[in-house]
Amino acid sequence: MFVSLGNASAWWHAIPHLFGYVTILWVIYAIGLCVWIVLQKREPAATLSWMLSLIFLPYVGFFVYYVFGPQRIERQRLRRERSRTELRGYGEVSPPHPDHDELAHLALESAGLPPTTATSVRFLVDGSAKYDALLEDIRNARDHVHLEYYIFRPDQTGTRVRDALVERAKAGVKVRVLIDAVGATKARRRFFRPLLEAGGEVAWFHPTRLRHFTRPRWNFRMHRKIAVIDGEIAYTGGINICDEQDERLTDDAYRDLHMRMTGRIVREAQLIFLEDWLYVTEQDRASFEGTNLWPESSAEEGPIQAQMLVSGPDSPWEPIHRMMVSAIYEAKKRVWLVTPYFVPGEAARMALTSAALGGLEVRLVVPKISDSMFVTHAARSYFDELLAAGIKIHEYGPRMLHTKALLVDDDLAILGSANFDHRSFRLNFEVSVMYQSAAIAAELEAIITEELAQAPEVTPLMERPFFKRRLPEAVARLFSPLL
């Protein structure tokens, strides 16, 4: 081995000016990579992080950034055009509620869906409540069932949902299931074969196929959780379909929150699903013939002001991020934020610390230990700054906290699938709901208060060993813009 190394070294030095040639090639690579990254026009911190990380990965860095970098995909035009030509316009399906404020208008312009209403909203805390309600509604479906999930595992919970879908498909109900190809890697076509044989349809969002290599989409995941039954009932929130989120099956099941909604808001959930379905399957309007997508019962106006928020790499506005930051700035009394992954950008940190410095009650609830140690360390790296501004930080335990909610004052709540991090705000396709309702805010306050009872407050005097806490936190924060 040493002889081989010696021969390689002799061969290296024998080539005239080889070191100079390699240096020139490396400089050309570094300049080209930097120009490419700079032209993406991302935040300076994220831009510098990518440049410093990849500049020392000669040539491999091009591939890494090509696949995993913060690229945009040409989907916005497809969504806008196909949804309004192949389906129906937003205004026709869900007319804007006349009594809306500046925040609702901002959501309309950035996310594209108008403010509307709900006749009822039912909070479902943890998986058992969500699965029981969803299965009951699926079994009562008469026309169609549309499901869109990031994770759909072929375990006990997934099998129960699949079998309920199979039974409905055999009864003539149209069943469409859209799942993310990465989040649901274990739920392969064989698992869904009974549903396909019964007449149901299954599609995978951004499958990792060789033909997509020239247009990489592996890093753009569909993180939404949507269910629409008969166009009359809609579900969304943070709970996937898997045993890990059912507290009846495991003691360490995630603490999470989901919503069951009726009223006009269901039409917006339907639109989101249909747009994603058309995008993935490339079907047209004819594929929905015979399905009553817009029943008259869903046109009824309700007492709860609600608005769906969608975001993804197809939009330059980062709608959910923008709405959360704007809502925090509009706060007059309090801001309560619950999130499993807390990796804020500069705008979000400024909003939270400004609210606290302005005398508002600002509370942040995060898991004591999340399912990603790297994200846990990154989140804790911001604690000193937040605590200094007067923000009260709580670490929930012993279960993993997966709730994603923002409560502002006594009448504004934003809940859904989006975490408070760069990936959810920029790379994932997410969906949340904004409620402007004192009743909804009161219910959310009660749920968060239960979580606070199991979430001790972090204090600046807590022990933070150098190698176990402070150093890993500093390293994780360095790479936080890439998360």
Catalytic residue selected from 174, 206, 225, 394: 225
Which residue would you say has higher pLDDT here, 418 or 371? 418
275, β-bridge pairs: none
- What is the pLDDT, as a whole number, of residue 381? 85
> Which of these is catalytic: 223, 321, 377, 394?
223
Global pTM reads 0.85
Q: DSSP class of residue 187?
A: S
Here the tokens at position 402 are: 């997966």
The confidence band for 76, taking pLDDT boundaries of 50, 70 and 90, is very low
Query: What's the pLDDT score for residue 34?
Result: 73
- Residue 275 burial (C-beta neighbours within 10 Å; 0-12, 13-18, 19+): buried
Q: Is the pLDDT of residue 2 over 90?
A: no
> 264 or 97: whose pLDDT is higher?
264
Average pLDDT over residues 167-185: 94
Residues 340, 363: Cα–Cα separation, whole Å: 14
Instruction: Please confirm, yes or no, whether 284 is among the known catalytic residues.
Output: no
| Catalytic (active site) residue 404 | yes
Closest among 186, 289, 315 to 242, alpha carbons compared:
186
State the sign of the Cα–Cα–Cα–Cα dihedral 257, 258, 262, 266: positive
Residue bearing the bigger pLDDT, 62 or 129 = 129
pLDDT band at 234, cuts 50/70/90?
A: very high
162-176, 184-198, 228-242: least confidently modelled range: 184-198
What pLDDT score does 95 carry?
67
Catalytic residue among 144, 377, 394, 402: 402
CA distances from 369 to 51, 174, 240, 340, 397 (A): 30, 41, 20, 9, 8
Radius of gyration of the CA atoms of the chain, in A: 24
Q: Is 213 a residue whose pLDDT tops 50?
A: no
Dihedral (Cα; 32, 34, 37, 43), 10-degree rounding: -170
CA 447 vs CA 10, 145, 241, 246, 406: distances in Å: 70, 29, 22, 18, 12
Domain coordinates in residue numbering, the chain: 2-68, 76-100+114-303, 319-482
- The amino acid sitting at 396 is Y
What pLDDT is stored for residue 398 in this prediction? 83
Q: Which has the higher per-residue pLDDT, 467 or 386?
A: 386
Contact predicate 295/232, CB 8 Å: yes
For residues 389 and 477, which has the higher predicted lDDT (pLDDT)?
A: 389
**Would you state the pLDDT for residue 214?**
43
319-482 to CATH, choices 3.30.870.10, 3.30.230.10, 3.30.1050.10, 3.20.20.480:
3.30.870.10
CA distance 474 to 477: 5
Task: Output the 3-class SS for 222-274.
Answer: ECCCEEEECCCEEEEECCCECHHHCCCCCCCCCECEEEEEECCHHHHHHHHHH
Active-site residue, from 143, 409, 410, 411: 409
Q: Which CATH class is domain 76-100+114-303?
A: alpha beta
Same fold, 76-100+114-303 and 319-482: yes
Band (pLDDT 50/70/90 cuts) for residue 371 is confident
Least confidently predicted of 15-29, 232-246, 322-336, 402-416 = 15-29
Is 60 exceeded by the pLDDT of residue 420? yes
- pLDDT score at 53: 64
Identified catalytic residue from 206, 321, 404, 422: 404
Tokens of 469: 């806490």
Q: Which of 230, 276, 314, 421 is catalytic?
A: 230
Q: Across the strands, what pairs with 233?
A: 229, 262
- The better pLDDT of the pair 76, 365 is held by 365
- Give yes or no: 409 in active site: yes
Q: Is residue 99 annotated as a catalytic residue, yes or no?
A: no
Q: pLDDT tens digit string along 126-165?
A: 999 999 999 999 999 999 999 999 999 999 999 999 999 9
pLDDT digit string, tens, across residues 271-319: 999 999 998 888 888 889 899 999 999 998 999 999 999 998 888 899 9
Instruction: Take residue 205 and report the two structure tokens written for it.
Output: 């969002």
Let me know: does 359 contact 332? Beta carbons within 8 Å. Answer: no
What does the block give as tokens for 129? 């409540």
